[in-house]
């Protein structure tokens, strides 16, 4: 058994080494392709946002439909390009993360959730209604590692950090500040989709920030 421990540690170390290179690149390429397709489709298509203007969460519900269409189109195209080359990757990924929540609230979320079974029916990629939020949910799950872990070593961000002699992959810290920023980053988009959950996450973030500042003092 003792001989197996070094073997496992050696294997795990090599898997983590490759894990900093391959998985982030694959996720970036897939997300770049998906959002590029969506953005190009909007660019050559007709604006249908006016038909669902009242379904957009605030503050997007008060933005003119033409401006919303323009911002959505170029955010998807620009975000896809940034993900592709790995430049300002976390900013691009989080912008597309929020955009996905807005799209889910306006298009993919059931109008009325009277019971959990209605929500479960929406977890499907079909043309039968019920929200069909499975695909945007998968996008959100795939964007999360990019936001929290970064673009990986095959990226312009990594090369830029190396050029500036900055630590491209600093040692991870999971203190109260980190949990607070994570709760805030998740709470803002969730507030547009599930207001109670989003508000709770934002309040949790504020509490964690207060605790971290008090503990430091």
Per residue in 95-150, pLDDT (tens digit) is: 999 999 988 888 777 665 555 566 666 666 666 655 677 888 899 999 999 999 99
Angle between helices 22-44 and 134-149 (to 10 degrees): 130
Query: Are 205 and 183 in contact, with CB atoms under 8 Å apart?
Result: yes
Least Cα distance to 105 among 142, 75, 68, 77 occurs for: 68
78 lies in which domain range? Answer: 22-170
- Residues 127 and 178 grouped into a single domain: no
- Could you read off the pLDDT of 17-57 as tens digits, one per residue? 898 899 999 999 999 999 999 999 999 988 888 888 878 88
Cβ-based neighbours of 175, under 8 Å, separated by 6 or more:
212
The residue assigned the tokens 């109670």 is 196
Query: Are 154 and 21 in contact, with CB atoms under 8 Å apart?
Result: yes
Q: Is residue 185 part of a domain?
A: yes
Q: Is residue 62 part of a domain?
A: yes
Q: Is residue 149 part of a domain?
A: yes
Least Cα distance to 93 among 119, 75, 109, 70 occurs for: 75
Secondary structure letter of residue 104 according to DSSP: I
- Residues 95 and 108 grouped into a single domain: yes
């Amino acid at each position: 058994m003792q001989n197996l421990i070094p073997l496992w540690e050696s294997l795990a170390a090599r898997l983590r080494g490759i894990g900093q290179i391959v998985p982030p690149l694959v996720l970036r390429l897939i997300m770049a392709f998906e959002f590029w397709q969506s953005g190009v489709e909007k660019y050559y298509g007709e604006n249908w946002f006016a038909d669902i203007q009242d379904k957009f969460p605030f503050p997007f519900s008060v933005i003119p439909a033409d401006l919303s269409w323009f911002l959505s189109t170029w955010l998807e195209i620009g975000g896809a390009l940034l993900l592709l080359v790995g430049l300002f990757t976390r900013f691009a990924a989080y912008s597309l993360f929020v955009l996905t929540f807005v799209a889910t609230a306006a298009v993919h979320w059931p109008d009325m959730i009277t019971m959990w079974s209605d929500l479960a029916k929406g977890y499907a990629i079909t043309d039968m209604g019920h929200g069909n939020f499975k695909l945007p949910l998968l996008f959100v799950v795939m964007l999360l590692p990019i936001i929290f872990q970064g673009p990986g070593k095959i990226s312009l961000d990594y090369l830029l950090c190396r050029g500036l002699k900055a630590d491209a992959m600093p040692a991870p810290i999971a203190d109260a500040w980190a949990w607070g920023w994570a709760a805030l980053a998740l709470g803002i988009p969730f507030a547009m989709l599930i207001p109670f959950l989003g508000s709770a996450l934002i309040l949790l973030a504020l509490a964690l920030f207060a605790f971290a500042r008090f503990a430091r003092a």
